[in-house]
Structure formats: structure tokens, C-alpha cells
Amino acid sequence: MIARAAMRESMRTQRGAVLFVSTIILLVLSLLAVAMAKSAVFENRMVGAARSAQLAQLAADSAMSEARAKIARVAAQAGAEAVCAALRCAVRDAGAPVDPVAYMRTPAAQAAANPFRIDLARLGYADATAQLAATPVYVVEDLGNAPKTAGSASSPQRLFRITARGVGASEDFSRVVESVYAVAATAAAPG
């Protein structure tokens, strides 16, 4: 009898200890799970931000390529002086900001902006859900004829400054690229 009573007392003590130890283990595992969930959410936000930044860069580069193609096409058909008749061109005054990002915010640049429709569906199945917060735009400026170099026998060239802006999945992510593009000043002779 004494052995049974001692055994019962031992079992009650053990059950209490097991409950206490298992509660502590569950608490530690819960804290680890919460920490891992926070880490996963943070990483997901980082990936989303990187994707949005890449979409903005893609949109700006695509708008830049479209502007170059349109300038080249118009210059080849009608001459470089006809480019600003076919596209909206801006004239940057002396007080305009030199920084392309600040320039794209000016009313003159916004009035002369040419919208560019980018088809993200052609990127493939993995990127079929890509959406931009705003339409990419580009601004073309006619800089006039390029200065002639001494002893150069090449045909005269006309310079155009292209400033393109692309926005990612939200307005927080935008990219502005700027380039000077040269085309032949005269139209190509019909062949």
C-alpha cells in the first residue's frame, strides 16, 4: 500500500512537471514561429519593392526605345526638322531644372509629354500580372544640328534630347532616364 501511495504521489508530480516543461517548449516554439512570420512578411515586402523598381526601369527604358524609334522613323521619311511636327516637343528654357527628375515635374515637360502604352502581357506567363501605376511618358527636345567637326565628311546630324519616365506598381517607384539621340538631318533618298 505504501508503494502504491508513493507511486501515485510520484505520478502527480511528474504530470505537473511534464505540463510545465511542455508549456515552456510551446511558448518558445510560438515565439520562433512569430519571428519567422515577421521575417517572411519583411522579405515579401522587399521582393515586391524590387519588382516594382524593375517594372519602373522597364517602363522608362521601353518609353526611351519607343521615342528613339519614332524619331528615327520620322527623320528617315521627312527629315529631322519634321520630328517636332510629328511628336510633341518641349523647349527647355534657361530656368528649367537640369536634373531630369525635377524637369519631368515641370508644367512644360508635362504638357509636352508623349504617352507610351507598354504591353506587359508579352513578358510571359510569369509576369502576366505586372501592372504599372501610371502610363510611361517621354519628352523630346530638339537641340538643333550637331556641331561639325573639322575635317569630317559625314552628313550633318540633328540632336534630340529624350527624357523618359516610368512608374512601377505604385507611384513610390519611378525611374527617369535621359539620353541625347542623333539622326541624319536630311531624309533618306527614296531607293
Residue 173 lies in a domain: yes
Confidence of residue 63 (pLDDT cuts 50, 70, 90): very high
pLDDT at 48: 85
Q: Is residue 189 included in any domain, yes or no?
A: no
The number of folded domains in the chain is: 1
b or e along 152-164 (b: 16 or more beta carbons within 10 Å of the residue's beta carbon)? eeeeebbbbbbbb
Which stretches does DSSP call E strand in 22-136?
89-90, 114-115
The string of pLDDT tens digits covering residues 130-186 is: 678 888 999 999 888 888 776 666 778 889 999 999 998 888 889 999 999 988 877
Domain hosting residue 30, numbered range: 2-184
pLDDT > 60? residue 125: no
Longest Cα–Cα distance in the chain? 120
Across 86-136, the runs of DSSP E, i.e. the strands, are 89-90, 114-115
Q: Is residue 190 a part of any domain in this protein?
A: no
Residue 14 lies in a domain: yes
Structural domain includes residue 191 = no
- 191: pLDDT strictly greater than 80: no
Residue 121 is assigned to a structural domain of this protein: yes
What percent of the chain stands above pLDDT 70? 82
Q: In angstroms, rounded to a whole number, what is the distance separating the alpha carbons of residues 83 and 158?
A: 10
Q: Is residue 111 part of a domain?
A: yes
Q: Is residue 147 part of a domain?
A: yes
Nearest partner of 134 among 166, 100, 176, 172, judged by Cα: 166
